[in-house]
Amino acid sequence: MDSKAQPEKLPDTVAFQDKFTREFMVSPKEVKEGYYLFKSKTGGFTMLYPKNAKIDRMFYEKHKKYYESIHLGGGREKENISNYIRMTYENAKITENIDVNLDLLSTYVHYNGKYTKFESNNNTIYFGKNEQHISNNDIIYYFFSYVKSNHSYQAVRFIYAVTCKDANQKCNMDVQKEEERAKMFMKSIKFQY
């Protein structure tokens, strides 16, 4: 998407009103209600992107066509829910070493459990989840995966974290639905060859 496009002619959503985020959007047309199609700047993959999320330019990193690190944050104001996604894309032989990559992911999210493995979109997805208790009523739920292409060296380490924006206010978070949402993002990843 052209970052020079006129914001007033674009959808009134965070994804399109933020200049940097807009550069990753394929089109202002929603591909699913509430979601646009995101394309990485390496050209390596596409996925669903929430319309109310913003990519953090400060934490964005790209190295040629082989590596990209993307952080995006958003939430659902009316529900008092805040979330962020962190993705690390790699296209290198090291992605074939599943154990090393799962260890890296586990270290980052303080996880020492087993991963569930399933297939989607010609990818193998290794999925895990855990929670971190910050205080009595403040919990961060993590849903994370290693999404590995079955046909190339491409892979994405994917972390979806969700919490109540304000722990002192009512927050009706459906953890099962958040897990489904996280898996929807993971399954929507399509590697470009």
What is the C-alpha separation between 14 and 53, in angstroms, rounded? 6
> Hey, what are 12's tokens?
């009134």
> Hey, what are 165's tokens?
């924006």
* Res 7: pLDDT: 54
pLDDT in tens, 35-53: 999 999 999 999 999 999 9
What is the C-alpha separation between 190 and 186, in angstroms, rounded? 9
pLDDT in tens, 63-122: 999 999 999 998 887 788 899 999 999 999 999 999 999 999 999 999 999 999 999 989
The answer, yes or no, to whether residue 163 has pLDDT greater than 60, is yes
Q: Do 40 and 155 form a contact (C-beta atoms < 8 A)?
A: no
Considering only the top CATH level, what class is 51-191? mainly beta
> Hey, what are 49's tokens?
């992107």
Q: Sorting pLDDT into bands at 50, 70 and 90, what band is 2?
A: very low
Report which of 115, 101, 117 is spatially closest to residue 157, judged by C-alpha positions.
101
